[in-house]
């Protein structure tokens, strides 16, 4: 049996037989079938697939492709939230390059991503002699803190039975601000009751006020607290605002893929056949994949979810695999990370 490495993981899609890129150069590979219930997460692309003639294709995380810079920026946010933030939140370029190397990001890609993120207002620079150290701006820290709170949350807070509504009237001339607000509302877990009315069962009133102020929309936004009096039950309102069926399918795909990967990792850890560096990469990719649910899952209270909601199993599995990788991943981080001058770099728990 021969082994090939496929770097075209982006071509794999649900229930689709795709032509293996190696088939263009070798008759030993024919095709590879991805049998995943929905769009497969990139984390799943570590799994081996078997061609028709039993040639194993090792699908690795995508390092090139059409959007390498976007991937680098997105991974940087994951590393900041998971690893750099608990160690003081500031890091030098040399340490950052070491940390991103196991994720198949070149020094050039890391520098370009940092430069782009800084220009967008997410990172700030502190210079010590000829060296530069990077930390999140207040805007970036706010975004990361909100993500960390939701990714590592064990259980949603108990629901008080009330709904919070945000309505807006933003003129067409401020379309960019309006579209940005919609993206932020989606990311915070609000659902569109109508085009200009968004709802959430969570008490995010202060956060929504802060969001409106940050976008200069104080005069265009109104926030309410209300009870749903019908017609229909609260779960009917949920069905109007969110597609839980699609979110549930993604959770099931994540659980299936990550469960298989966890079994393989457990065997390698037991045999001491995996390095600390590889564990760090696995942990970051796990968090990176799981945090994508922040963009699709509103994090509804249990009272508004089906009893068999697949997000619960996904959350438990995420925590288990994360803990399994945490020790060796921390050893690699501590070896690669140089505390910035004048900063203690002490550990803060997530």
Other beta carbons within 10 angstroms of residue 22's beta carbon come to 20
**Total tally of structural domains belonging to the chain:** 4
For residue 229, name the pLDDT band (cuts at 50, 70, 90): confident
| 70 within 8 A of 286, measured Cβ to Cβ | no
First to last CA, the chain: 44
DSSP 100: H
Q: Please give the backbone phi and psi of residue 193, each rounded to the nearest 5 degrees, phi first.
A: -75, -35
Give the tokens for residue 174.
């401020």
Taking all residues of the chain, what is their mean pLDDT, rounded to a whole number?
80
Q: For residues 347 and 86, is the Cβ–Cβ distance under 8 A?
A: yes
Q: Does some domain include residue 296? A: yes
Burial class (CB in 10 A: 0-12, 13-18, 19+), 47: middle
The verdict on residue 153 lying in a domain is no
Q: Distance between CA atoms of 164 and 154, rounded to whole angstroms?
A: 23
Angle 93-100/107-119 helices, nearest 10 degrees? 120
Outline where 58-174 has alpha helix (H): 68-79, 93-100, 107-119, 138-151
Q: Rounded mean pLDDT of 61-76?
A: 63
Residue 34 clears pLDDT 60, i.e. is over it: no
Domain extent at residue 219 = 163-226
Q: Are residues 275 and 330 in the same domain?
A: yes
Would you say residue 104 has pLDDT above 70?
A: yes
**pTM confidence score:** 0.74
Q: Mean pLDDT throughout 322-347?
A: 85
CATH number of the domain that residue 111 is part of = 1.10.10.10
Could you tell me if 265 and 325 lie in one domain? yes
258 alpha-carbon distance from chain centroid: 14
> Residue 61 pLDDT more than 60?
no
Are 217 and 255 part of one and the same domain? Answer: no
| CATH number, position 218 | 3.30.70.240
- Of the pLDDT bands very low, low, confident and very high (cuts 50, 70, 90), residue 321 is very high
41, part of any domain: yes
DSSP 8-state code for residue 339: P
14 and 80 assigned to the same domain: no
Q: What is the pLDDT of residue 146?
A: 85
Helices then strands (H, E): number in the chain? Answer: 10, 12
For residue 210, CA distances in Å to 58, 125, 194, 221, 295 come to: 46, 25, 22, 11, 20
Q: Are residues 72 and 47 in the same domain?
A: no
Residue 109 is predicted with a pLDDT of: 94
pLDDT on residue 4: 35
**pLDDT per position as a tens digit, 234-288:** 999 999 999 999 999 999 999 999 999 999 999 999 999 999 999 999 999 999 9
**Residues 175, 121 share a domain:** no
Please check the confidence at residue 50 and state whether its pLDDT lies above 80.
Answer: no
């Amino acid at each position: 049996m021969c082994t090939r490495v496929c770097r075209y993981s982006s071509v794999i899609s649900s229930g689709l037989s795709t032509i293996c890129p190696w088939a263009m150069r070798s008759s030993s590979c024919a095709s590879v079938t991805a049998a995943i219930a929905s769009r497969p997460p990139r984390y799943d692309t570590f799994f081996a697939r078997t061609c028709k003639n039993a040639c194993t294709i090792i699908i690795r995380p995508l390092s090139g492709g059409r959007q390498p810079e976007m991937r680098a920026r997105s991974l940087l946010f994951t590393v900041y939230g998971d690893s750099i933030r608990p160690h003081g939140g500031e890091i030098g370029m040399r340490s950052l390059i070491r940390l991103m190397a196991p994720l198949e990001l070149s020094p050039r890609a890391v520098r370009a991503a940092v430069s782009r993120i800084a220009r967008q207002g997410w990172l700030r620079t502190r210079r010590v002699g000829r060296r530069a150290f990077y930390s999140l701006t207040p805007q970036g820290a706010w975004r990361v803190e909100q993500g960390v709170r939701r990714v590592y949350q064990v259980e949603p807070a108990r629901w008080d039975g009330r709904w919070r509504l945000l309505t807006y009237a933003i003129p067409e001339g401020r379309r960019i601000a309006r579209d940005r607000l919609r993206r932020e509302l989606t990311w915070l877990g609000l659902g569109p009751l109508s085009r200009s009315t968004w709802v959430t069962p969570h008490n995010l009133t202060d956060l929504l006020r802060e969001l409106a102020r940050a976008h200069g929309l104080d005069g265009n936004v109104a926030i309410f607290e209300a009870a749903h009096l019908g017609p229909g039950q609260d779960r009917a309102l949920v069905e109007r605002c969110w597609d839980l069926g699609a979110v549930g399918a993604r959770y099931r795909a994540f659980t299936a893929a990550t469960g298989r990967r966890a079994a393989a990792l457990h065997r390698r850890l037991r045999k001491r056949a995996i390095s600390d560096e590889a564990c760090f990469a696995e942990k970051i990719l796990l968090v990176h994949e799981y945090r994508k649910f922040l963009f699709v899952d509103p994090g509804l209270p249990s009272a508004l979810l089906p009893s068999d909601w697949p997000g619960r199993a996904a959350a438990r599995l995420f925590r288990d695999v994360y803990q399994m990788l945490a020790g060796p991943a921390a050893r690699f981080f501590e070896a690669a990370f140089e505390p910035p001058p004048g900063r203690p770099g002490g550990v803060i728990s997530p």
